Amino acid sequence: MSENLAVRAHRRLVMNRRVRRLATHVADLLPDDARQVLDVGAGTGELAVAVSQLLPGVDFTGVDVYIRPHTFIPVTAYDGRTLPFDNDSFDAVTIVDVLHHCDDPVAVLAECARVARRWVVIKDHVADSRWQAQVLRFMDWVGNRAHGVVLPYNYLSSGDWQTAMTRSGLQQRRRIVRLGLYPQPFSLLFDADLHFAGQFEKTAG
C-alpha cells in the first residue's frame, strides 16, 4: 500500500513538473543549429515532444532497450551497447537520466559521441558522498521500480564524470546545476547538488 501511495504521489507531484523543467533545460542546451537529434533512452518520447514544442525545428529520433506499446516519436530498439547508426549521424544526442542505469556508462557515452556530429546533451546525477547515493537510490526506487526499470544505482562522483568525459572524447561547454525539478519543500532534499545538465562538445576524431 505504501509503495502504491509513493508511486502515485511521485507522479502527481513530480513527473509533470519534471518533464516541463527538463524540456526547458534540454532546449536551452541544444545548439541553435541542431535539427536531427537522437534521444538515447527515449522511453515514450514524452520529453522529446516537450522539447520539440519549445524548438519546433528539431526532429527527434529515439532509441531504447525496451520499446513501449505507444511512443510519441519513432523509437528504435537497441542492445544498450552499440547504437544502430553510422558515425556522425545526428547533429546532437540527448541522454537524460539514463547513464546511471547502465552497467558501463563510459561505453554508452562513447557511443553517443560517435553518432553525434558535434554535441551531446546530458542530464544525470552526481553522488559525491554515501548520503547522496542513498538519496538517489530512494528517488530511483520510487520513480522507476513500478515500471520494471533496471536499477543498478550506478551513480558517478564528480571525479568519475571527469574521467568518463575524457575517455568518451567529450568536453563540457555549459553546465546547469539548479534544475528546479521538485517543488518545495521536496527540493531541499532532492534537488541540491544531486543533478546536473550539461552541453558537451565532441573532441575526439
For domain 2-202, give its CATH number from 3.20.20.80, 1.10.3720.10, 3.40.50.150, 3.40.50.2000: 3.40.50.150
Structure confidence at residue 2 (pLDDT):
45
Distance from C-alpha of 58 to C-alpha of 95, rounded to nearest angstrom:
16
> Domain locations in the chain?
2-202
- pLDDT at position 193 is 85
Please give the C-alpha separations between residue 124 and each of 6, 74, 164, in angstroms, as whole numbers.
22, 23, 13
pLDDT at 142: 79
Residue 85: per-residue pLDDT: 97
Q: pLDDT of the chain along its 205 residues, tens only?
A: 344 544 455 455 566 788 999 999 999 999 999 999 999 999 999 999 999 999 999 999 999 999 989 999 999 999 999 999 999 999 999 999 999 999 999 999 999 999 999 999 999 999 999 999 999 998 888 777 656 677 788 999 999 999 999 999 999 999 999 898 877 766 766 776 899 999 999 985 5
**pLDDT for res 183:** 72
pLDDT at residue 3, as a whole number: 44
Cell of 203: 573532441
23 and 53 Cβ atoms separated by less than 8 Å: yes
